[in-house]
Amino acid sequence: MSAVCFEALPNGLRLAWLRAAADGVAVGLWWFCGTREEADGRAGWTHLLEHCLLRPPAPDSPLAAAAELDGRSGYEHLRLQAWLPADRAAAGLSELVERFLNPPLDAAGLAAERRVIAAEAAAERADPDRAFERGLRRALWGAHPLARPAYGRLRALAAADEAALRAFHGARLDPARLLLCAVGPLPEAALRAAAAPLAALPPAAPLLRAPPAPFPAGGRWRRSGPSARLAWLAPAPPPADPAAAAWALALALLDGPAGLLAVRLRAARLPVWALQLALENHSDQALAWLQAAAPPGVLPALERVLRETFATLAERGPDVRALAAARARLQARLAWEAADPWARAERLGLDVLCFGRPREPTEWDAALAAVDPAAKRSRVRATSSSPMSASAGRGSATRSSSRPSAARTGASSISISLIPAPFLIHGH
């Protein structure tokens, strides 16, 4: 594939396109406006709007030819993406833009989508993993919007009638928050023609500011029950930080069927399931988290294995071969994203959100290569801090006077700050 072309228009609208040989074209419209900016009385309106924007198109419309029409709303964005035949891509992208500017809203449709979201919420409450994460978010973020699920609050959705939702959408229609992108055999002229209605929008003074994310507070939260879940969390640098690549590499070293944690848990013969390790990225910060489920009586042994694993890495540094394998896994994923038009189009939007511009796969690959234990021994360091506490009842949180700092890493070191007391939740 050739390099990504990127342009910011006078009104702030951004365009990104990549000409590539493919059977179709992945087109996307990103709106950098998410649930993090919603007041409590409108919590979930962005998600409701996403549902309405994804209502089935007319059978004879260009979007009806899409092999896939997908959307996602999160804490900082709403994304619409379609996979279209090359000969329908220009018309389909134009329809996607028109649909975004004039959302298909009516009373019956809104009522139907509210029911769908209520069903989503009920399914989440019944899922032990999601219920765990929901309780953990409340303990971590307290009253901040990041504590809410992305679908918001069902009571707030009931107030979103057609007029109110159109006003909500219009007040946030700032072209500087919009990105239109395409990956595949779509001519540049076709992209610009589809973007014309967005390019005609007047520049808008930002009406909203996302509340700054507080440093997460937490502690131990217990409930009685037959099963238990454990989470271990650490503040991490945001994606634009130079240390982010080292963090991704460190987590890849620990994660997966062949990762260090799985190997140690198998050796200890502990009955552990739902082991997950991931980074939750926001534009201004990130949170590394690990969670696992086990019988309540196994939790002390599980916690001991986790502590021993991190202590071993702190004392000896990562095994060179294991670290090389972790880097290879990340590079393989990068290669897949670069070769797949759908994944590449999605990556364009995430890069613009986090970095302000698209990044070439070679940039991330170079950042991974810079973390080189062959040149100088890398260390994964566990940094102690004072315990942090949180109230599980109302989700209010207090912070200790000692705050673990997100580590800054050089080209040949990996450093991780760990909250020493894990968050324990029983009964899910």
CATH number for the domain spanning 117: value is 3.30.830.10
Domain of residue 150 covers 5-199
Q: Which token pair is 85?
A: 């035949």
**pLDDT band at 399; cut points 50, 70, 90:** very low
38-47, 105-114, 280-289: which range is least confident on average?
Answer: 280-289
Are 229 and 421 contacting, i.e. CB atoms less than 8 angstroms apart? no
Q: What is the pLDDT of residue 108?
A: 95
Residue-level pLDDT at 213: 66
- In angstroms, the CA 211 to CA 207 distance is 13
Most confident of 41-55, 246-260, 331-345: 41-55
Whether residue 242 sits in one domain with residue 117: no
Does residue 309 have a pLDDT over 70? yes
What is the structure's pLDDT at 386?
28
Q: Assess contact for 4 and 165: CB atoms under 8 A.
A: no
Are both 68 and 185 inside the same structural domain?
Answer: yes
| Number of compact structural domains in the chain | 2
Helix (H) or strand (E) holding 124: helix 107-126
Look at 64-73, 76-85, 86-95, 136-145 and tell me which has the smallest mean pLDDT.
136-145
Residue 4 has what DSSP assignment? P
The number of angstroms, rounded, from the C-alpha of 343 to the middle of its chain's C-alpha atoms is 14
Contact 221, 423 (CB under 8 A): yes
Tell whether the model's pLDDT for residue 411 goes beyond 70.
no
Biggest alpha carbon distance in the chain? 65
- Residue 243 and residue 131 share a domain: no
| Assigned domain for 118 exists | yes
Per-residue pLDDT at 207 exceeds 80: no
Domain final residue, candidates 144, 178, 199: 199
* Same-domain pairing of 410 and 283: yes
Pick the most confident of 81-95, 322-336, 363-377. Answer: 81-95
> Residue 232 has which token pair?
């271990």
271 vs 298: CA distance, rounded Å: 8
Same domain, 143 and 246: no
Q: Tell me, what's the pLDDT at 182?
A: 97
Q: Are residues 48 and 101 in the same domain?
A: yes
- Measured distance CA(235)–CA(243) in Å, rounded: 12
* Residue % of the chain over a pLDDT of 90: 41
Same domain, 148 and 234: no
